Amino acid sequence: MGVSDLLIGLNPDINKRKNVIRMIKANNGYCISQPGKSQDTKCHCKRFKETGECLCGLFLTLQVVEVEH
């Protein structure tokens, strides 16, 4: 399964989403859940792009499953 097999959306918890966005902005656009500041930790971070896993919780992913009828 690759990232292309995932549906990606914003966290539905509006308060969490607003807080995370505020903290990312205060951190100059870098992930608040990873150490250091580099292109790899700029939101959307490298980890998220490669795995679909968002450590700060701003984005959620769902795996797409094909069902045979």
The full set of domain ranges for the chain reads 3-63
* Of residues 39, 38, 31, the one with CA closest to residue 56: 31
Q: At residue 41, does pLDDT exceed 50? A: yes
**pLDDT tens figures, 45-65:** 999 988 889 999 999 987 776
**Helix residue ranges, H only, the chain:** 14-26, 46-51
pLDDT of residue 33: 95
pLDDT (average), residues 2-31: 89
58, 7 in Cβ contact below 8 A? Answer: no
Tell me the mean pLDDT in the region 1-22: 84
Give CA–CA dist 44/3, Å, rounded.
Answer: 13
Mean pLDDT over the full length of the chain: 88
